[in-house]
Structure 1
């Protein structure tokens, strides 16, 4: 069962590539006491994710943060080295937090796993976005078709954000 508006995010461990190498990050440390916009993509460096989805958040970063948002986070079922490489390649390093969910632990905990093994991609994430306030899901935007990035794009979150 997937997470819904009003639910508290489950506890899970994600990873982040830092200057010291890959480091584990507890979901509580990311969301507790903060207002965070999280969006998830099926995979770093994939066409829709890199061309249509992530750029909407980079282009609207300042507008989102100006609406009482502490941080923007992108999550993908990729390893932390891939996410770190994607951050550099997209110019998003230091602007958006790129988190890795290498075993899909977080993705499964929120019920957003997507089986793309038929396409040789294994378990991935459904494409979605959330507004999270102190660990509670305030807004949730799930794409019906993960090859699209419209419902979960930055414009939707901007429309949902209130000062």
Structure 2
């Protein structure tokens, strides 16, 4: 069953690229005592993700912070090296934290995975965004397959109080 507004974010470990190699990030620590804007993309460097989704959050990062967001996180079922390279190419460093969920364990725990096997991509995350306040989902926007709109930075900004 998919996570919904009012649910606590599940435990899990994500990975980010660091100067010393892949570094583990505990979901409990990431979401505890703060407000996190998390968005998920089906894949780094894919067309919509690279042309619209990530750039929107990079462009609007300051506005999201002004609305009370402590950290913006991009989640993808890729590896930390790919996410690090994507961050550098998209000028996201210092604006968006890029986290890898290489085996889709966290994405599956959210109940927001999709099967992209027919595209040769295996299990991936659906396109979605959420606002998590102190570990609890306060807003959740899940796209219909093939769509891009409700998970955008602009849509999130319009719904932040």
Q: TM-score range by the shorter chain?
A: over 0.9
- Contact kept in structure 2, 1:43 and 1:76, CA below 8 Å: yes
Name the structure 1 match of 2:157: 158
Hey, which bits of structure 1, 4+ residues long, moved more than 6 A? none
Residue 13 of structure 2 is matched in structure 1 by: 13
| 1:41-52 equivalence runs, <5 A | 41-52=41-52
Contiguous gaps of at least 5 residues in structure 1: none
CA-based RMSD of the aligned residues comes to: 0.7
1:24 aligns with 24
SS in 1 for 2:6: coil
The number of residue pairs the alignment matches comes to 161
Matches for 1:1-163 after TM superposition, within 5 Å: 1-145=1-145, 147-162=146-161
Normalising by structure 1, we get a TM-score of 0.97
Structure 2 unaligned spans of 5+: none
2: CA distance, partners of 1:95 / 1:135: 21
Map Cα deviations across residues 40-68 of structure 1 (whole Å, 9 max, x no partner): 00000000100011111111111000111
Match of 2:124, SS state, is: strand
Per-residue deviation at 1:10? 0.5
- Residues in 1 aligned to 2:62 and 2:134: alpha-carbon distance in whole angstroms: 21
State how far apart, in whole Å, the 2-side matches of 1:86 and 1:144 are: 24
Instruction: Compute the displacement of 1:81 (Å).
Output: 0.2
